[in-house]
């Protein structure tokens, strides 16, 4: 059971933010932080509710400059529910704890069933003891429904009890301290009047500038006769239920909430839709049954197990939060993956390049979700084309931070809390986000064989991105090479060459090499299209023979900087100074935010060989050794077989893991050479959210890229899976801490591939009923496995057995 439960056995106000983020419940459409139902935003608690894709933009002043910010809106809070003995004070865990009256408090998240439970015993000032058991779900079955069931037992008293149940629309976006003096009031109040059905509450509001209508209806029922009194204020609607409790006899209050927006399909008006959904919903147990059934279907598709309980539990937690952010309920929505989930307001709910780390797990289990996320990008091709044209380029330039309309949402200044200074922010120069998108399209195609997607959307996306990068590359006659200037790589600690006024770096190796890869794959994708589609697409994009020749030329002559026998992060990196790592560690301890430390000292990370996160090393993460080797060889860069090892050894100690994505990438690439060290780094990455290793960032939202990436690491790196050319390549490398890894996968339309890796064995079985055999490649051998058959190979003896039915 431990592998399915996240639990806390106390009430710790200082840990509430973290627990709220980690106990968020959601279904892809909507998510609500695991805040206690009786609390509101007060510095300890932050009950946030977010609906996928619902952003609102407000004008703001930052450091005296006019700007505007699109926020993922904190929507009306459906949770509020509290109680009191009629003449006592409302239940408040903080006050009760301060007064020594919180007798016990346990919170438990059941990952398998998606249920958050709280068990509390509390005594009021009059000495009356009440036991509370509360269960909460956000339905994975019906994305519009959520429910809270509260059972109260008066342990040593009898008398009247009052319950307050409300919907609160007076919430603002104020969950992240450093954004707090920016405007966050995104909801305009519309309606909170009482309904003819006394059990129902309805609150309607709309977002201020994006004008999305939102309606939350709540139905509150009790297991005993009640008297109700309604109260409504602007932006708030609630009712008091008064009933009589008898000592030792439980009473149950059920609150079922329905959430709709004006963007939802198959409705006439969102308020009416919410009211009838709340009125017609079954009781808590009926909702729970359907909800757990939906989760059990999801878990069946997510089979991934290791014989290491602590690791398994966190992997389950990560899969759980991933599916709560991007479930099958997003397939009909137009949403991307917010880097911090629907779990908090960090990064304002924006979409970065993190889907690079998220899509592979989804593609091999829920290809429909992966496709929907790629469609989010395809729909924003026109915006990306406009951005490229605005910058004087051809093709599509995707924004580093994206929200509703695909415009650039990256802030232009940011605050260094250490120095109190506002600083220019050039991170929008991370053009590599476009390369990620093209890369994701191709990898999705490789893993699914979804030719229809490639023909209708994928190739166009890839070509337009390729076109932008081919245009960005400038031919340098003196070296007969193409160069890309004025960009940033993934490492955000380098945004300019020291001593230069204009921001941006020349020839970021990751960008240049991946550009070559994308140019080639874009042409491969074009070549794969049926003739008529190919002609039509070229015509539509006005893609001439000359432009294709340019693609080929850039892919043939791209410049890649090297120094000391390793790939340079960018041109001129070799001349940067070495940082006194030991000195800084000694002085500051945690130097993950080295940028802030140096800036506060009047210095800059730009001057040093010190990176926030994997940059050159990303190449070894996104490309297979043979892909990278092939690119460098064809570019004419001679290098020995030791390039990867040397480059990894060079950059690892020069990177301070200021992003959770960094240790994930490091764990992956080190796994090829040093299993034990890789496992150590993997554990760092795995436990980063559950322990809030970055000191205060997880309460503002989980790190979905690292969460999904760690799961994918077990899947693709430990099991050694790559998908190329219609063949599943296997090269398992189990860390010594694990003796067995089991995966259930989907690959190119084959449901139900069961893969088992042990230290001495690899076994693949294709469940019966598959339409055709699968082809796998293992240890230079090609094997076909027919449906219903299995194949295994003993690693110890290097023996393989023929497929056996
Ligand atoms: C990282 C980016 C990442 C973003 C959102 C930043 O700290 O440097 O690579 O995309 O967080 O997760």
What DSSP string runs through 75-124?
Answer: PPB---EEEEETTSPPP-HHHHHHTT-EEEEEEEEETTTTEEEEEEEEE-
Q: How far apart are CA 330 and CA 184, in angstroms?
A: 26
Per-residue pLDDT, 795: 67
Q: What is the pLDDT of residue 803?
A: 47
Per-residue model confidence (pLDDT) at position 770? 81
What does the mean pLDDT of the chain come to? 95
Distance CA 401, CA 351 (A): 6
640 pLDDT more than 80: no
What pLDDT sits at residue 251?
A: 98
Query: Is the C-beta atom of 353 inside 6 A of ligand 1?
Result: yes
**Helix axis angle, 675-686 to 704-712, nearest 10°:** 140
pLDDT tens profile 714-727:
999 999 998 887 88
Q: What percent of the chain has pLDDT over 90?
A: 90
d(C-alpha 338, C-alpha 341), whole Å: 5
Q: What confidence tier does 800 reach under pLDDT thresholds 50, 70, 90?
A: very low
Atom of ligand 1 nearest to the CA of 703: 12
Phi, then psi, of 775 in degrees rounded to 5: -105, 125
Q: Is 354 annotated for ligand binding? A: yes
The answer to whether 236 is annotated as binding is no
3-state secondary structure 585-609: HHHHCCCCCHHHHHHHCCCCHHHEC
3-state DSSP assignment of residue 736: coil
The response to whether residue 492 sits with its C-beta less than 6 Å from ligand 1 reads yes
CB 777 within 8 A of CB 790: no
Cα 656 to middle of ligand 1, angstroms: 14
Contact 468, 534 (CB under 8 A): no
- Mean pLDDT value across residues 289-306: 97
Ligand 1 centroid to Cα of residue 199, in Å, is 45
Sorting pLDDT into bands at 50, 70 and 90, what band is 797?
very low
Identify the weakest region by mean pLDDT among 206-210, 541-545, 668-672, 683-687.
668-672
Residue nearest atom 6 in ligand 1 by C-alpha distance: 659
Ligand 1 neighbour 339 (Cβ under 6 A):
yes
Best mutation site among 351, 352, 430, 709 for ligand 1, i.e. most ligand atoms within 8 A of its Cβ?
Answer: 352
Residue whose token pair is 């240790």:
663
Q: What does the pLDDT look like over 617-627, one tens digit per residue? A: 999 999 999 99
Rounded to the nearest angstrom, the distance between the alpha carbon of 188 and the centre of ligand 1 is 32
| Average pLDDT of the residues in 589-601 | 96
Question: Which residues lie closer than 8 Å to 502 by C-beta, 6 or more apart?
Answer: 486, 496
Nearest ligand 1 atom to the CA of 354 is 10
Looking at residues 249-266, what average pLDDT do you find? 98
695 CB-side CA count, 13 A: 6
Q: Give SS3 for 27.
A: coil
Q: Which two tokens stand for residue 418?
A: 């250490």
**Is any atom of ligand 1 closer than 6 Å to the C-beta of 606?**
no
697 C-beta closer than 6 A to ligand 1: no
- In ligand 1, the atom with minimum distance to the C-alpha of 658 is 7
The rounded Å distance from CA 239 to ligand 1 centre is 43
Helix, strand and coil in the chain, % to nearest 5: 35, 25, 40
Residue 160 in tokens: 């009247």
In the chain, count of helices (H) and strands (E)?
Answer: 22, 33
Q: Is the CB of 444 under 6 A from ligand 1?
A: no
Structure-token match 């205060």, residue found: 696
* Of the candidate ranges 382-391, 396-405, 409-418, the one whose mean pLDDT is the lowest: 409-418
Neighbours of 393 (CB within 10 A): 18
Tell whether 310 is in a known binding site. no
Instruction: Single out the residue of 371, 128, 163 nearest to residue 251, CA to CA.
Output: 163
CB burial of 1-22 (b: ≥16 within 10 Å; e: otherwise) equals eebbebebeebeeeebbbbbbb
> In sequence order, what are the residues at sequence separation of 6 or more whose Cβ sits closer than 8 angstroms to the Cβ of residue 475?
481, 482, 557
The span from the CA of 801 to the CA of 305, in Å, is 24
Q: With beta carbons less than 8 A apart as the criterion, state whether 562 and 556 touch.
A: no
Residue 427 CA, ligand 1 centroid: distance in Å:
10
Q: Which pLDDT belongs to residue 427?
A: 98
442: tokens are 């191709």
Structural domains of the chain in order of their starting residue, each with its CATH number: 2-300 (2.70.98.40), 303-349+661-715 (no CATH), 366-638+652-656 (1.50.10.10), 718-804 (2.60.420.10)
Report, as an integer, the average pLDDT of 601-607.
Answer: 97
Ligand 1 test: best mutation among 348, 660, 661, most atoms within 8 Å of CB?
Answer: 661
CB of 254 within 6 A of ligand 1: the answer is no
Atom of ligand 1 nearest to the CA of 340: 12
Which residue's CA is minimally distant from atom 12 of ligand 1?
A: 339
Q: Which of 189, 147, 477 is nearest to 284 (CA)?
A: 147
Cα torsion through 653, 656, 660, 661, rounded to 10: -50
341 Cβ inside 6 Å of ligand 1: no
- Burial (0-12, 13-18, 19+ Cβ within 10 Å), 437: buried
- pLDDT at 1 > cutoff 80: no
Question: Which sequence positions are flagged as catalytic?
Answer: 492
Backbone angles phi and psi of 181, in degrees to 5: -90, 10
- Tens digits of residue pLDDT in 72-95: 999 999 999 999 998 899 999 999
Pick the residue whose CA is nearest to atom 11 on ligand 1.
Answer: 659
Nearest CA to ligand 1 atom 5: 339
Q: What's the gap in Å between 609 CA and the centre of ligand 1?
A: 20
590: annotated binding-site residue?
A: no
Q: d(Cα 274, Cα 767) in Å, to the nearest integer?
A: 42
Q: How far is CA 324 from the centre of its chain?
A: 10
Question: Do 122 and 132 form a contact (C-beta atoms < 8 A)?
Answer: yes
Q: In what order do the strands lie in the sheet with 129-138?
A: 5-8, 102-110, 115-123, 129-138, 145-154, 251-261, 213-222, 200-207, 187-191
Q: Are strands 304-306 and 740-747 parallel, antiparallel or unpaired?
A: antiparallel
Residues 6+ apart with CB under 8 A from 358: 322, 326, 337, 373, 704, 705, 708, 709, 712
Q: How far is the CA of 130 from the centre of ligand 1 (A)?
A: 45
- pLDDT bin (cut points 50, 70, 90) of residue 796 is low
CA–CA separation, 502 and 606 (whole Å): 13
**Residue 193 to residues 130, 215, 445: CA-CA distances in angstroms?**
32, 13, 51
* Alpha carbon 255 to its chain's center: 29
Could you tell me the pLDDT band of residue 306, with boundaries at 50, 70 and 90?
very high
> Is the C-beta atom of 80 inside 6 A of ligand 1?
no
Q: Is residue 465 pLDDT above 80, yes or no?
A: yes
CB 494 within 8 A of CB 571: no
Residue 219 Cα to chain centre, angstroms: 32
pLDDT of residue 247: 98
Q: Is residue 796 packed enough to be buried (19+ CB in 10 Å), middle (13-18) or exposed (0-12)?
A: exposed
Q: If you measure from the C-alpha of residue 799 to the centroid of ligand 1, how many angstroms do you get, rounded to a whole number?
A: 44
- Does the beta carbon of 337 sit less than 6 angstroms from any atom of ligand 1? no
- Indicate whether residue 352 lines ligand 1 (CB < 6 A): yes
Ligand 1 atom index nearest CA of 704: 12
- Region of 347 (left: φ > 0; alpha: ψ -120 to 50; beta: rest) is left
Please, what is the end-to-end C-alpha distance for the chain in angstroms? 34
Q: In 3D, which of 789, 780, 774, 804 has the Cα closest to residue 364?
A: 774
Does any ligand 1 atom lie closer than 6 A to the CB of residue 715? Answer: no
Q: Which residue has the higher pLDDT, 288 or 2?
A: 288
Taking CA atoms only, the protein residue closest to ligand 1 atom 9 is 490
């Amino acid at each position: 059971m431990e592998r399915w439960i996240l639990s806390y056995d106390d009430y710790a106000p200082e840990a509430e933010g973290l627990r709220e983020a980690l106990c968020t419940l959601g279904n892809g459409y909507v998510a609500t932080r695991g805040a206690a139902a009786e609390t509101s935003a007060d510095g300890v608690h932050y009950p946030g509710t977010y609906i996928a894709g619902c952003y609102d933009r407000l004008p703001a002043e930052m450091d005296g400059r006019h700007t505007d910010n699109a926020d993922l809106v904190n929507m009306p809070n459906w949770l509020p529910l509290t109680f009191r003995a009629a003449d006592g004070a409302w239940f408040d865990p903080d006050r009760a704890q301060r007064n020594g009256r919180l007798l016990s408090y346990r919170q438990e998240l059941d990952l398998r069933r998606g249920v958050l439970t709280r068990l509390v015993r509390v005594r009021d000032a009059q000495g009356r003891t009440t036991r509370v058991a509360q269960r909460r779900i956000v339905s994975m079955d019906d994305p519009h429904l959520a429910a809270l069931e509260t059972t109260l037992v008066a342990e040593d008293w009898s008398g009247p009890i009052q319950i307050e149940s409300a919907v609160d629309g007076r919430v603002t976006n104020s969950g992240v301290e450093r954004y707090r003096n920016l405007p966050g009031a995104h909801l305009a109040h519309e309606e909170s009047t009482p309904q003819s059905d006394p059990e129902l509450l309805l609150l309607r509001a709309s977002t201020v500038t994006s004008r999305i209508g939102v309606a939350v209806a709540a139905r509150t029922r009790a297991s005993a006769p009640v008297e109700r009194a309604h109260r409504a204020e602007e932006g708030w609607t609630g009712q008091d239920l008064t009933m009589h409790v008898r000592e030792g006899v439980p009473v149950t209050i059920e609150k079922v909430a329905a959430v709709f927006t004006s963007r939802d399909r198959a409705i006439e008006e969102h308020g009416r839709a919410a009211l009838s959904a709340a009125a017609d919903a079954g009781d808590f147990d009926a909702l729970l049954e359907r909800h757990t059934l939906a989760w059990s279907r999801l878990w069946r598709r997510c089979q991934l197990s290791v014989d290491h309980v602590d690791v398994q539990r966190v992997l389950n937690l990560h899969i759980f939060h991933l599916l709560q952010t991007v479930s099958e309920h997003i397939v009909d929505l137009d949403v991307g993956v917010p880097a911090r989930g629907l779990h908090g307001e960090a990064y304002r709910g924006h979409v970065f390049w993190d889907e690079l780390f998220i899509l592979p797990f989804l593609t091999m289990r829920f290809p429909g979700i992966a496709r929907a996320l790629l469609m989010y990008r395809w729909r924003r091709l026109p915006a990306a084309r406009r951005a490229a044209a605005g910058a004087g380029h051809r093709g599509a330039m995707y924004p580093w931070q994206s929200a509703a309309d695909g415009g650039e949402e990256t802030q232009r200044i940011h605050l260094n809390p250490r120095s109190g200074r506002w600083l220019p922010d050039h991170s929008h120069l991370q053009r590599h986000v476009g390369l990620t998108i093209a890369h994701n399209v191709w990898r999705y195609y490789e893993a699914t064989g979804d030719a229809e997607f490639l023909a209708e959307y994928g190739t166009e996306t890839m070509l337009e991105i390729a076109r932008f990068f081919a245009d960005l590359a400038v031919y340098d006659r003196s070296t007969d090479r193409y160069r890309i200037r004025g960009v940033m790589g993934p490492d955000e600690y380098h945004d300019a060459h020291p001593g230069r006024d204009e921001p941006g770096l020349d020839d970021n190796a990751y960008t240049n090499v991946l550009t070559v890869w994308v140019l080639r794959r874009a042409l491969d994708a074009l070549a794969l299209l049926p003739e008529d589609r190919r002609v039509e697409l070229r015509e539509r994009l006005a893609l001439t023979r000359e432009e294709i020749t340019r693609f080929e030329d850039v892919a043939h002559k791209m410049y890649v900087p090297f120094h000391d026998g390793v790939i340079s992060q960018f041109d001129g990196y070799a001349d940067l100074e070495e940082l006194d790592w030991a000195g800084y560690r000694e002085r500051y301890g945690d130097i993950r935010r080295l940028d802030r430390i140096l800036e506060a000292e009047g210095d800059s990370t730009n001057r040093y060989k010190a990176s926030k996160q994997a940059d050159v090393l990303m190449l070894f993460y996104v490309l297979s050794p043979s892909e990278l080797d092939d690119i460098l060889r064809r570019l004419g860069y001679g290098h020995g077989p030791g390039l990867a090892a040397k480059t990894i050894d060079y950059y690892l100690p020069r990177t301070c893991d200021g992003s959770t994505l960094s240790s994930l990438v490091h764990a992956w690439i080190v796994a090829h050479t040093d299993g034990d060290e890789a496992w150590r780094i993997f554990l760092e990455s795995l436990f980063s959210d559950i322990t809030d290793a970055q000191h205060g960032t997880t309460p503002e939202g989980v790190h979905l890229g690292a969460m999904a990436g760690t799961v994918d690491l077990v899947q693709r790196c430990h099991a050694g899976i790559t998908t190329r050319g219609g063949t599943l390549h296997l090269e398992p490398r189990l860390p010594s801490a694990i003796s067995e890894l089991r995966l259930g996968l989907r690959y190119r339309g084959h449901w139900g591939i069961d893969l088992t890796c042990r230290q001495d064995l690899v076994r693949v079985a294709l469940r019966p009923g598959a339409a055709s055999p699968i082809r796998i490649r293992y240890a230079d051998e090609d094997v076909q496995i027919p449906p219903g058959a299995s194949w295994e190979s003993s690693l110890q003896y290097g023996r393989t057995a023929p497929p056996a039915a």
